[in-house]
Amino acid sequence: MATITKRKTSYFISVSCGYDRRKRQIRKTMTWKPEPGMTDRQIEKAVHEAAVLFENKVRLGKVVQTNATFEAFVERWLVEYADQQLAPRTVCRYRQFMRRILPAIGHIRLDKLQPMHLIEFYNNLAEDGIRSHKTWVVRPALLEKYNAQNQKPTLFAKQAKIGTATLQAILAGKPVMRCIAEKMCDALDMTMTRGFKELPGKTTLSKRTVQ
């Protein structure tokens, strides 16, 4: 719900958009000014209508503050769109990509982001050519606890917010990404270190990946 704060000659409207990865609240704001000659009742009605309209635009993703950094924009997109509309595995991969992208250009404001910034980033990727690719495999302790649940795989997968095929891959001992392993551990109330074993590794970035 939008928050309205009265100022001397205007009203400050603020809408919450969730939280970023550092647990900081994301808010979108606007300033509304009444027309000259409006009565108090007219102002009260108009400012509430403006707040509702602004909140709807924020929810629909139609409000982008150009003075926000690229990192703030990405976090908002992940929270408001990706987490709601995309498959968990897809969101997980996007978040992995952001771990490499945000340190390079996350601090740049949207209105200052230029093609040259992206070109320099691409060039750095091509020169570096290495990416960290850590995966996780299930430990016997987690398998034991899962089997003790005696629950249908489809129901457990829904509870853990992962796909049934992903669950089967985990149980078969195939490596998965950290965010998937975390969902499995959360569903069984286990720590990551007890439920999964980390398999660090590095792979070369292909030209297609860089492009």
Burial (Cβ within 10 Å: 0-12, 13-18, ≥19) of residue 190: middle
Taking only the tens place, the pLDDT of each residue in 177-207 is 888 899 899 999 999 999 999 987 655 455 5
H or E segment and range at residue 179: helix 178-188
Taking only the tens place, the pLDDT of each residue in 129-162 is 445 567 889 999 999 999 999 899 999 988 888 8
Radius of gyration of the chain (CA): 23
- How confident is residue 209, by pLDDT bands cut at 50, 70 and 90? low
Look at residue 64 and tell me if it is in a domain: no
Predicted TM-score of the model (pTM): 0.45
190 and 141: one domain? Answer: yes
- Give the contacts of 129 (CB within 8 A, at least 6 positions apart): 204, 205
160 and 113: one domain? Answer: no
Look at residue 182 and tell me if it is in a domain: yes
Q: Choose one of 59, 80, 105: the last residue of a domain.
A: 59
What residues make up the domain containing 140? 135-203
What total of structural domains would you count in the chain? Answer: 3
H helix intervals, 106-139 = 115-128
